[in-house]
Structure 1
Amino acid sequence: MADTATGAAPDRARASEQGAVGRFLQATEIDTRMLGMVGALVLIWLGLHFLSGGLFLTPRNLWNLSVQSASIAVMATGMVLVIVTRNIDLSVGSILGFVGMIMGVLQVTILPQMAGIAQGSPALWILALLAGLGVSLLIGAFQGFLVAYLSIPAFIVTLGGLLVWRGAAWWVTSGQTVAPMNPTFRLIGGGPEGSIGAFWSWVVGLAACAAVAVLLANGRRQRRRFKFPQRPVWAEVFLGALACVLILGAVGVANSYPWPAAIVRRYAQANNLSVPDGGLFIAHGIAIPVLIAVAVGIVMTFLTNRTRFGRYVFAIGGNPEAAALAGINTRWVLLKIFALMGLLAGVAAAISTARLNAATNAQGTLDELLTIAAAVIGGTSLAGGAGTIAGAMLGALLMQSLQSGMVLLGIDTPLQNIVVGAVLVVAVWLDTLYRKRA
C-alpha cells in the first residue's frame, strides 16, 4: 500500500510539471519545433566553444559567423517556398557563381572599358548590381517556365541548371578570377567599412524593439477585432521582453568587436585623430550583409503570411489538385516562385562577391546543399505545405555554425561535407518522425 502511494506521488508531480510546461507553451504560442531548433543551436555553440578552447563564442567569431550566414540565409528564404510546393532547386549555388561573375566582369572590364565609366563612379556598381539581379531573375523565371508550363520535373531542370550555370560562369572569363570590385560595392559584403558602427547599431536595435512592441499590440488588437482567442497579457510581455533581449544582445555582441589595429591607425591618420596608448576602440557594429538578410527575411515573411501569393503557395503545397480546382493558377504561381528564387540567388551573389572582393569560378560551390539543408532543418517539410522563413534563416545560422566550428577545430573539408550531409539526412528523418507524430 505504501509502495503504491509512493509511486503515485512522482507520477502526479511529473504530470503537474508537464501540465505547467504545456500551459506555458500554449499561452505564449511558442512553436515547439522552433524551440527545439534553438535548443540544438545553443548546445552546438556551447560544444564548439568548449572544443575550440573558448574561441567560438567570441565577438569576433560571432560577428564573422553572422556575415558568413547572410548569403545562405537569403537563399534559404526562397528555398522555403520552392520546397513548400513539393519542388526543389539544385541550381542556386551555380546561379550565385554565374551572376557573381557577371557582376564582377561588368565592374572590372565591360563598363569601364566599353562605357567609359570610372571605377569610383556610383553608376558602375549600381549598373552591375541591377544587371546581375536582372539576369538572376530571368534565369529563375526560365527554369520556372520549364517546370510549370513544360511539366519537366524541378529536380531535372535545376540539376541541369547546376551544370549549365556553373559551366557558364567559367565560360564568361575562361576560368579567370575577376578582381577587385568597386569600393562602394564592397560595402555590401561587410568588413570594417561595411558595417554601420556602434551608434547606428543601437538605433537599429531600439527601432527593432519598438517594432516588436507595435506588432504585438497590433496583433492583440486584430484578435480582439475578429474575436479570436487572445494570449494572456503576461505572455505578450514575456515575448516582447525576450525578443528585445535577443535583439539588444546581438547588437551588444556586434559592438564588442573592434576594428583591427592596422585599420584603426590608417583611419586615425586619414582623419587626424590621436591614438591613445591603449589603442583606439572603434566598433564594427551590425554588418551591412546582415541587415540585407534581415530585410529579406522580413519581406519574405510578409509575402508568405500576409499576401494572396503566400496563401496560394501553401495551398499548392498542401494539395495541388485542390488548389487548381479552387481556381488558383498553379503554373503562374510556380513560375513566380522560381523567378523569386533566382532573384534571391542574385542578392546572395552580390553579398558573396562583395565579401570576397572577387568573382571566382568556385564561388557558390555546394551552396545549394547548405541552402536546402537550412530550409529543411528550419522546419520546411519535403512533403510540402509547411515551412517558415524564420526557421530557414535559423537553419542557415545553424549550418554555418557547424562549418565555422569545424574550421576552428581544424577539420578537413571532406569531413566537413560528410557532417553537413549527415545533418541533412538526420533533419529529414526528424521531419518524418514529427509529421507521423502530428
Structure 2
Amino acid sequence: MATNTLIGSLVRIRELSILLVTIACAGYFALTSTGFTSLDNGHTIAQYIAPWAIVGAGEAMLLICGEIDLSAGFVFTLAPFVLVLLNNNGLPLFVALLATVVICALIGTVNGLIRTLFNLPSFITTLGMAFLLQGLSLIISNGSPVPAPADTWVRTTFGGARWSELTWALVIIAVMQIVLSASRFGIYTQATGSNPVGAAESGIRTSRVKVVNFAVTSALAGFGGILEGMRVGSFDPTNGGFNTMFFGVAAAVIGGTALLGGSGTVVGALLGALLLGIVYDGFNLTGVNANAFNVVLGVAILVAMFLNTYLSVLRRRASAVRGRT
C-alpha cells in the first residue's frame, strides 16, 4: 500500500520525467566531456536556456489555453529595434524599454483579437503576423545589426550583467507559475484549454483569457529579445525568428505542456529549456555534429508527447483508485 501511494504521488508530479532525463543528460556530459561542470560552461548553458525559457513561459500559457503563437520569435527580433527607435527619438532608455514591452503586448493583443473576433485559427493568424513583423524588423534595421545602447545601469540590469538574463528568466518563470497555479486567471486558462464550451457556460470569458495570454506571450518575447540583445551588445535582425519560437514551444512541450491544451506547467518549460541547453552544449563539447541536435530535438518532442499521454493515463487511474478508497 505504501509503495502504491509513493508511486501515485510521483506520477502526479508532471515534471518528474523531464527532471530525471535532464539529470541523466547532465551526468552523462559531465562524465564524457571536459569542462562541462565549470562555471564558465554553466554561463554558456544559461545563455542558451534564458531566451528559450522566457519565450517558453508565454507559449506554455497559450498552449494550456488551447492556442499557439508562431510570431513570438519575430516579436523577439523586432523589440530591440523598437527600443532603439524610441530612444533615438528622445525617450530615456528605461522609459523606451517599458514602452517597447507595452507595444509588444499590443501586438499580442491584435493576435488575440483576430483569433477570437474572427475565429481564425491561431496558427494562421500568428503565421501571418510573423512575416509582417519580420519585414518590419528588416525595414527598421535596414537589414543590418545595430549596437546596443551605451553601458548604463539599464543595460547592466536588463541583460548586460553576467547572470542578469538568467535571473530575469527565473523570475519570469516563478511569477508565471504562480499566476498559473495560484490565481483565478490561471484556473480560467486551464479551464479554457481543457473544456472551452463548459468554461464559457460556467461564466468564464474564454475570449478575454485567450487575448490576455496572447498579450503576455508577446510581451515576454519582446522583453526576452531586449535582454538577449543587451547581453550580446548588438541588435541583430537575424536573431530570434522561427528558431527561437520553435525552441520556446519545444521547451514547453518537452516540459509536459499538452499541445491540445488543458494541462501543463511553466516550470516544465524551464526544465525543457534546460534539457535542450544541456544537450546543445554537450554536443558542442564532445564534438558531435550540430545538425544532429535537430534529430535529438525531434526525438525528444515525440518521446515527451508519448510520456505526457502515458502519464496522464496513470494519473487518471491513480485518481480513480483514490476515489474508490
Q: Secondary structure at the match of 1:147?
A: helix
Structure 1 position 306 matched with structure 2 position 189: no
- Find 1:43's aligned residue among 2, 21, 24: 24
Q: Cα distance, 1:21 vs. partner?
A: 4.6
Unaligned runs of 5+ in 2: 317-325
The separation in 2 between residues aligned to 1:47 and 1:90, in whole angstroms, is 33
Q: Secondary structure at the match of 1:328?
A: coil
- Find 2:246's aligned residue among 369, 392, 400: 369
Aligned to 1:70: 50
Q: 1:103 to 1:422 in 2, by over 3 A?
A: farther
Structure 1 position 61 matched with structure 2 position 41: yes
Q: Deviations over 1:154-211 (max 9, x none)?
A: 01011112222122111112201100323134324656xx15xxxxxxxxxxxxxxxx
Aligned to 1:94: 74
Q: Secondary structure at the match of 2:263?
A: coil
Structure 1 position 343 matched with structure 2 position 206: no
Q: Cα distance, 1:436 vs. partner?
A: 4.3
Q: 1:369 to 1:188 in 2, by over 3 A?
A: farther
Aligned to 1:396: 273
Mean Cα displacement is larger for which, 380-389 or 98-107?
98-107
Does the 8 Å CA contact 2:159/2:228 hold for their aligned counterparts? no
Structure 1 position 138 matched with structure 2 position 138: no
Q: 1:36 to 1:143 in 2, by over 3 A?
A: same
What percent identity do the matched residue pairs reach? 29
Q: Cα distance, 1:301 vs. partner?
A: 1.8
Aligned to 1:186: 155
The separation in 2 between residues aligned to 1:148 and 1:350, in whole angstroms, is 29
- Find 1:328's aligned residue among 192, 204, 207: 204
The separation in 1 between residues aligned to 2:129 and 2:295, in whole angstroms, is 24
Does the 8 Å CA contact 1:144/1:338 hold for their aligned counterparts? yes
Q: Deviations over 1:65-87 (max 9, x none)?
A: 12431222122111111111221
- Find 2:118's aligned residue among 144, 150, 162: 150
Q: Secondary structure at the match of 1:183?
A: coil
Does the 8 Å CA contact 1:97/1:169 hold for their aligned counterparts? yes
The separation in 1 between residues aligned to 2:264 and 2:72, in whole angstroms, is 19
Q: Cα distance, 1:406 vs. partner?
A: 2.0
* Aligned partner letter, 2:214: F
Q: Cα distance, 1:295 vs. partner?
A: 1.6
Does the 8 Å CA contact 1:189/1:356 hold for their aligned counterparts? no
* Aligned partner letter, 2:250: A
Unaligned runs of 5+ in 1: 1-18, 116-122, 196-286
**Structure with larger Rg:** 1
Q: TM-score, normalised by structure 2?
A: 0.88
Q: Cα distance, 1:387 vs. partner?
A: 0.6
The separation in 1 between residues aligned to 2:31 and 2:289, in whole angstroms, is 19
* Aligned partner letter, 1:61: N
Does the 8 Å CA contact 2:57/2:270 hold for their aligned counterparts? yes
Q: Cα distance, 1:153 vs. partner?
A: 0.2
Does the 8 Å CA contact 1:65/1:401 hold for their aligned counterparts? yes
- Number of residue pairs the alignment of both structures matches: 313
The separation in 1 between residues aligned to 2:53 and 2:260, in whole angstroms, is 21
Q: 1:411 to 1:129 in 2, by over 3 A?
A: farther
Q: 1:142 to 1:353 in 2, by over 3 A?
A: same
Aligned to 2:284: 407
Q: Cα distance, 1:136 vs. partner?
A: 0.7
Mean Cα displacement is larger for which, 366-375 or 155-164?
155-164
The separation in 2 between residues aligned to 1:345 and 1:415, in whole angstroms, is 27
Q: Secondary structure at the match of 1:56?
A: coil
Alignment of 1:273-288 (within 5 A): 287-288=163-164
* Aligned partner letter, 1:154: S
Q: Secondary structure at the match of 2:15?
A: helix
